[in-house]
């Protein structure tokens, strides 16, 4: 593709130097580099209580478990997301209750969340589609009114902000992704940010079998006593979800570049917004006034039929422009069919959505060319 939808950013020399240091140390599991990466992310996000994991899916699993999701309980969530938002719910034996989305933004509707809450609801979950924040405060207020933890899947939204703050300040748990094609890649990896200090301690345990490695070390990072001397409680039995030093070294090499990467994504998103502002053929998704999107991809809405939308994508792909559907509504998959629901907003968004490349590898001229081809092809369908 001349204009790929995704491209891995990798500062090769810096990453190689960091990985070489790890490999030569002989300590490749969780250690110094993980601690340094954790601090760098905590500082960048202006937050605290951040725990690194081997994947965002692992971070989400920990969040659901901390929220009390277990067999017989329910989670109100969105279907229009990566399946990773929702597979942990099924894996924990709980039931999914779909809330609908705004068909003009892809964001979950706070009032529909509230309508779907029952006495079995243990968590509210949502995704910031393509890096554009939902109405974060309205969703959190629903959770607060009902005493239900709010879990934010921010896999698309590293660097996104709400009222000038990182999105992680507006949920009980926020989960980030550092998978290969995200804004910040550590090869693979994730993080969970916990609002509550007690949950933070528990998250540290759950990512390592139920054992808090950090509490077992002194201020210099040295082990206090025998490594496995602390107790593991039945209710805290956890997983092998920790990040390793190799991944952390790659992540650390990315940190000096992240502001530039985010700036490029946002600048390219603005180019598309301008290009589509005066046409009814293509409509940018809504971005709330209080939000700053990270524009992981640029999602817009086509005004024609679904078959015409598919033809538009096919024509663009044939010209080397990697347009497409990043995610499909999860309820189309057999695994989620027991949770069937009427979701008109999700259906409308699903039939109209198109995602275009707007990442750091695209210049302003590239984006203008892509926008021109989108409009020209769409007009002829």
What does the pLDDT read at residue 223? 59
Burial class (CB in 10 A: 0-12, 13-18, 19+), 217: middle
Within-domain flag for 63 = yes
User: What pLDDT was estimated at residue 214?
Assistant: 75
| Per-residue model confidence (pLDDT) at position 227 | 67
Same domain, 332 and 364: yes
In a domain, 141, yes or no: yes
Question: Looking at the structure, do residues 264 and 235 belong to the same domain, yes or no?
Answer: no
Q: How many domains is the chain built from?
A: 2
Tell me, what's the pLDDT at 233? 87
Residue 196 and residue 288 in one domain:
no
Last residue in a domain, options 256, 282, 306: 256
Report residue 266 as tokens: 């946002």
DSSP annotation of 164? T
Expressed in angstroms, the distance from the first to the final Cα of the chain is 23
Domain boundary among 196, 231, 256: 256
- Boundary of a domain, candidates 192, 224, 256: 256
Share of the chain above pLDDT 70, in %: 97
Query: Are residues 226 and 346 part of one domain?
Result: no
* Residue 49: half-sphere exposure toward Cβ, Cα within 13 Å: 19
Q: Is the pLDDT of residue 319 over 90?
A: yes
For residue 51, the enclosing domain spans 12-256
Q: 190 and 309 in one domain?
A: no
Please, are residues 194 and 60 in contact by the beta-carbon 8 Å criterion?
no
Domain of residue 77, CATH code: 3.40.640.10
pTM equals 0.96
pLDDT computed for residue 232 by the predictor? 87
What pLDDT is attached to residue 1?
Answer: 74
Residue 6 lies in a domain: no
318, pLDDT greater than 70: yes
For residue 98, what is the enclosing H or E element? strand 95-99
Confidence band (pLDDT; 50, 70, 90) for 308?
very high
Do 212 and 300 lie in a common domain?
no
Tokens 């907003």, residue located: 345
Residue 225 has pLDDT above 80, yes or no: no
What distances in angstroms separate CA 214 from CA 160, 209, 221, 237, one per listed residue?
A: 29, 13, 8, 16
Q: What is the pLDDT of residues 117-149, one digit of tens each?
A: 999 999 999 999 999 999 999 999 999 999 999
Q: Are residues 274 and 229 in the same domain?
A: no
Q: How far is the C-alpha of 19 from the C-alpha of 16, rounded, in Å?
A: 5
Per-chain mean pLDDT for the chain:
96
Phi, psi of 163 (to 5 degrees): 50, 40
228 has a pLDDT exceeding 80:
no
Classify residue 164 by burial, with Cβ atoms within 10 Å: 0-12, 13-18, 19+: exposed
Alpha-carbon distance values, 170 to 39, 64, 66, 153, 175 (Å): 20, 17, 17, 12, 12
| Mean predicted confidence (pLDDT) in 200-210 | 96
Give per-residue pLDDT as tens, 246-291: 999 999 999 999 999 999 999 999 999 999 999 999 999 999 999 9
Mean of pLDDT values over 282-308: 98
Q: pLDDT (tens digit, 9 = 90+) per residue, 47-75?
A: 999 999 999 999 999 999 999 999 999 99
Residues ≥6 apart with Cβ < 8 Å to 263: none
Give me the pLDDT at residue 226, please.
63
pLDDT at residue number 231: 83
Question: What local confidence, expressed as pLDDT, does residue 220 receive?
Answer: 56
Q: 227 with 80, same domain?
A: yes
Strands 298-302 and 121-127: unpaired
Report pLDDT for 247.
98
Neighbours of 305 (CB within 10 A): 12
* Same-domain check for residues 61 and 121: yes
Radius of gyration of the chain (CA): 21
Please name the residue ranges forming H helices in 164-305: 197-206, 245-254, 258-276
Same structural domain, 188 and 134: yes
Q: Do 215 and 280 fall into the same domain? A: no
pLDDT band at 221 (very low <50, low <70, confident <90, very high): low
State percent of the chain over pLDDT 90.
93
> What CATH number is attached to the domain comprising 361?
3.90.1150.10
Alpha-carbon span 344 to 352, nearest angstrom: 13
Looking at residue 224, its pLDDT comes to 65
Q: Are residues 62 and 123 in the same domain?
A: yes
């Amino acid at each position: 593709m001349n204009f790929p939808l995704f491209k891995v950013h990798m500062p090769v020399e810096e990453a190689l130097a960091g990985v070489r240091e790890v490999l030569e140390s002989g300590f490749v599991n969780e250690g110094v580099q993980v601690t340094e990466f954790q601090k760098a992310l905590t500082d960048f996000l202006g937050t605290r209580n951040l725990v690194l994991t081997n994947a965002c899916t692992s971070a989400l699993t920990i969040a659901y478990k901390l929220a009390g999701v277990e067999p017989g309980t329910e989670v109100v969530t969105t279907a229009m997301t990566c399946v990773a938002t929702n597979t942990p719910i099924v894996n924990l034996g709980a039931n999914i209750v779909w809330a609908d989305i705004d068909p003009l933004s892809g964001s979950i509707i706070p009032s529909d969340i509230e309508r779907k809450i029952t006495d079995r609801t243990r968590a509210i979950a949502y995704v910031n589609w393509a890096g554009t924040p939902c109405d974060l405060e309205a969703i959190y207020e629903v959770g607060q009114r009902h005493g239900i933890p709010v879990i934010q899947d921010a896999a698309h939204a590293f660097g996104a902000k709400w009222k000038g703050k990182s999105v992680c300040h507006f949920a009980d748990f926020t989960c980030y992704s550092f998978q290969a094609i995200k804004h910040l890649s550590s090869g693979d990896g994730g993080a969970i940010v916990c609002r509550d200090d007690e949950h933070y301690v528990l998250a540290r345990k759950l990512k390592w079998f139920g054992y808090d490695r950090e509490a077992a070390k002194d201020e210099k990072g040295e082990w206090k006593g025998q490594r496995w001397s602390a107790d593991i409680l039945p209710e805290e039995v956890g997983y092998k979800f920790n990040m390793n030093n190799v991944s952390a070294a790659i992540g650390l090499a990315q940190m000096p570049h992240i502001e530039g990467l985010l700036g490029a994504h946002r600048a390219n998103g603005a180019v598309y917004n301008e290009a589509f502002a005066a046409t009814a053929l293509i409509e940018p998704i809504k971005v709330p006034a209080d939000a700053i999107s990270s524009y992981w991809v640029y999602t817009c809405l086509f005004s024609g039929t679904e078959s015409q939308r598919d033809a538009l994508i096919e024509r663009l792909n044939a010209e080397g422009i990697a347009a497409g559907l990043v995610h499909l509504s999860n309820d189309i998959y057999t695994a989620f069919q027991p949770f069937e629901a009427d979701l008109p907003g999700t259906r409308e968004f699903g039939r109209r959505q198109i995602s275009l490349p707007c990442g750091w590898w695209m210049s302003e001229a590239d984006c203008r060319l892509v926008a021109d081809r989108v409009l020209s092809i769409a007009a002829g369908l």
